[in-house]
Chains A and B, each alone.
Chain A
Amino acid sequence: MKAAVIVFPGLNRDRDMIAALTKIGGVAPAVVWHQDADIPDVDLIVIPGGFSYGDYLRCGAIAARSPMMDKVRERAAKGAKVLGVCNGFQILIEAGLLPGALMRNTSLKFVCREVKLEVTNTDNAFTSGYAKGQIIRCPVAHHDGNYFADAETLAALEGDGRVAFRYAEGTNPNGSINNIAGILNAEKNVLGLMPHPENLIETAHGGIDGRALFAALLDKAA
């Protein structure tokens, strides 16, 4: 399983993501700058978090319209797995790879803390290492994570098992509809989530609850 991390100007969680993929996968991922000619032949493409283009216009909006995202779209259509975390999730939404919108947190505050997540569905390559309904800990750090979708989109997400993670135990940090924290595309090879599983993968982090996501993706034991 080969992985690549896409880096846009203004992202700042790329190093954590590269460290997580390297530690769990045993091999460093390819690091692809947004202006590189192409993405190497990989099975997993990761867009990490941060503040691409300073969150100008709307979070993720500028990066989503870059030529690099056309390449990500092509790979996703061919079946490559694509993971977007935090700003990466915002970019995937703005690029139309995932439905809905991520709006300002209802508190209007940047929220940086630990939440509880319910693993809502496990019949996909990303969450198969967890038990359905399992509650895990995970850090969040965002200002615009308030997931919104119209009733029709929401019904499709819920009905087709495309809600991967939900905020649990009253820890919803942003007011997202149906407590949604992470969603999949219809083919279930694209996952976007606001929380940062890459920041809870070793005991030095205070827990390893994020590890199973990467272990499943990279075909490694958690």
Chain B
Amino acid sequence: MKARVTVTLKAGVLDPQGQAIEGSLASLGFGGVKGVRQGKVFDLVLDGTDVEAARTQLTGMCEKLLANTVIENYQIEISN
């Protein structure tokens, strides 16, 4: 079983890296970019086939390590 965890900054948290990327895109001539937020992606390979058990385990991983829930949200996708 495979899982992808996406960690993004919460709304309202300043993202200077996203702002720098937005500025760089503008300087490259890509117009119309109204905002950039930078995040992280984790691809995990898991034992077992129980999707709900995996989701519970992945939620624990996000809460305890993969995301800093003070400033970050996370999203879990599971595929076979």
> In the assembled complex, which residues on chain A have CB atoms less than 8 Å from the CB atom of B68?
58, 61, 94, 101
Which residues of the partner chain A approach B14 to less than 8 Å between Cβ atoms?
Answer: 103, 106, 146, 148, 175
- Residues of B53-75 whose CB lies within 8 A of A: 64-66, 68, 70-71
**A101→B72 CA distance, assembly (Å):** 10
Chain B contact surface mostly: helix
Partner of A108, one of B16, B65, B70: B16
Nearest Cβ on chain A to B38's Cβ, whole angstroms: 10
Query: CA separation between A65 and B68, bound complex, in Å?
Result: 12
Q: Find the B residue at minimum CB distance from A177.
A: B14
| Secondary structure class of chain A's binding surface, majority of residues | loop
B71–A101 CB distance below 8 A = yes
Nearest CB to that of B38 among chain A residues?
A104
Report the interface size class on chain A.
10 to 19
In the docked arrangement, what's the CA distance between A200 and B70, Å?
33
**Docked CA distance A103–B14 (Å):** 9
A189 at the interface (CB under 8 A from B): no
Q: Let me know if A105 is at the binding interface, CB within 8 A.
A: yes
* Cα–Cα distance between A61 and B71 once the two chains are bound (Å): 13
Residue from A57, A104, A146 within 8 A of B65 (CB atoms): A57
Greatest chain A CB density within 10 A among B13, B14, B64 is at: B14
Instruction: Assess the A175–B16 pair: CB atoms within 8 A.
Output: yes
Indicate whether B17 reaches chain A with its CB closer than 8 angstroms: yes
Interface membership of B25, Cβ < 8 A: no
Q: Which of the listed residues B16, B20, B66 has the most CB atoms from chain A within 10 Å of its own CB?
A: B16
A139 at the interface (CB under 8 A from B): no
B64 close to A148 (CB less than 8 A)? no
Would A108 and B20 be within 8 Å (CB), given that A61-B65, A103-B14, A148-B13 are in contact? yes
Interface residues of chain B, those whose CB is within 8 Å of chain A, are: 13-14, 16-17, 20, 64-66, 68, 70-71
Chain A residues in the interface with B (C-beta under 8 A) = 57-58, 61, 65, 94, 99-101, 103-108, 146, 148-150, 175
Would you mind naming 28 contact pairs between A and B with Cβ atoms under 8 Å apart?
A57-B65, A57-B66, A58-B68, A61-B65, A61-B68, A65-B64, A94-B68, A99-B70, A100-B70, A101-B68, A101-B70, A101-B71, A103-B13, A103-B14, A103-B71, A104-B16, A104-B17, A106-B14, A106-B16, A108-B16, A146-B14, A148-B13, A148-B14, A148-B70, A149-B70, A150-B70, A175-B14, A175-B16
